[in-house]
Amino acid sequence: MTTPSRVMCYCLPDKGAENTLRTPPFAGLRPALHHVFAPGLSGLYDCRKQDGGQMGRQPELLDLFCGAGGASAGYRRAGFCVTGVDSAPQPNYPFEFIRGDALALDKAVLRRFDAIHASPPCQHYSVLAKRNGNAGDHPDLVAAVREMLERTGRPWVIENVPGAPLRNPVVLSGTMFPGLRVIRRRLFEASFPLPLPPLAPPPPLCHTLDKRKAHYGKTCEWTDFVMVNGGGNCSAAAARDAMGIDWMTKREINEAIPPAYTAWVGQALMRHLQGSRDGKKDRIESAHPPLPETAHG
Ligand X SMILES: C[S@@+](CC[C@H](N)C(=O)[O-])C[C@H]1O[C@@H](n2cnc3c(N)ncnc32)[C@H](O)[C@@H]1O
Q: Is 20 in the site for ligand X (CB under 6 A)?
A: no
Phi, psi of 104 (to 5 degrees): -100, 0
* Closest C-alpha among 235, 247, 192, 188 to residue 67: 247
Q: Shortest approach of ligand X to residue 17 CB, angstroms?
A: 19
Give 182's DSSP letter.
Answer: B
Instruction: Find all residues with CB under 8 Å of 186, minimum gap 6, and list them.
Output: 159, 160, 161, 162, 171, 172, 173, 257, 261
Q: Tell me which residues in 201-230 interact with ligand X (CB under 6 A).
A: none
Span from 2-10, 69-77, 181-189, 278-286 in contact with ligand X (CB under 6 A): 69-77
Q: Pick one of 25, 44, 86, 233: the residue that binds ligand X (CB under 6 A).
A: 86
Dist. CA 169–CA 266, nearest whole Å: 15
Span from 16-24, 99-107, 198-206, 232-240 in contact with ligand X (CB under 6 A): 99-107
- # residues near ligand X by CB under 6 A: 20
Span from 5-13, 24-32, 47-55, 64-72 in contact with ligand X (CB under 6 A): 64-72
Q: Pick one of 25, 67, 94, 155: the residue that binds ligand X (CB under 6 A).
A: 67
Q: Shortest approach of ligand X to residue 243 CB, angstroms?
A: 10
Q: Is 180 in the site for ligand X (CB under 6 A)?
A: no
Phi, psi of 77 (to 5 degrees): -60, -30
Q: Tell me which residues in 106-135 interact with ligand X (CB under 6 A).
A: 119, 121-122
CB of 67 or CB of 244, closer to ligand X: 67
| Alpha carbon distance, N-terminus to C-terminus of the chain | 67
Q: Shortest approach of ligand X to residue 105 CB, angstroms?
A: 9
Span from 5-13, 60-68, 149-157, 184-192 in contact with ligand X (CB under 6 A): 60-68
Q: Is 105 in the site for ligand X (CB under 6 A)?
A: no
Give 199's DSSP letter.
Answer: P
CB of 25 or CB of 69, closer to ligand X: 69
Contact 272, 155 (CB under 8 A): yes
Q: Shortest approach of ligand X to residue 275 CB, angstroms?
A: 26
Q: Shortest approach of ligand X to residue 13 CB, angstroms?
A: 16
Q: Shortest approach of ligand X to residue 154 CB, angstroms?
A: 18
Q: Shortest approach of ligand X to residue 102 CB, angstroms?
A: 4
* Closest C-alpha among 168, 164, 151, 67 to residue 116: 151
Burial of 45 (0-12, 13-18, 19+ CB in 10 A): buried
Dist. CA 6–CA 15, nearest whole Å: 28
Instruction: Find all residues with CB under 8 Å of 210, minimum gap 6, and list them.
Output: 216
Q: Is 65 in the site for ligand X (CB under 6 A)?
A: yes
Instruction: Find all residues with CB under 8 Å of 121, minimum gap 6, and list them.
Output: 65, 138, 139, 141
Contact string 254-273 vs ligand X (x = CB under 6 A): -xxx----------------
Contact 152, 111 (CB under 8 A): yes
Phi, psi of 32 (to 5 degrees): -65, 160
Q: Is 190 in the site for ligand X (CB under 6 A)?
A: no
Q: Pick one of 44, 61, 68, 166: the residue that binds ligand X (CB under 6 A).
A: 68
Binding stretches for ligand X (CB under 6 A): 65-71, 85-88, 101-103, 119, 121-122, 255-257
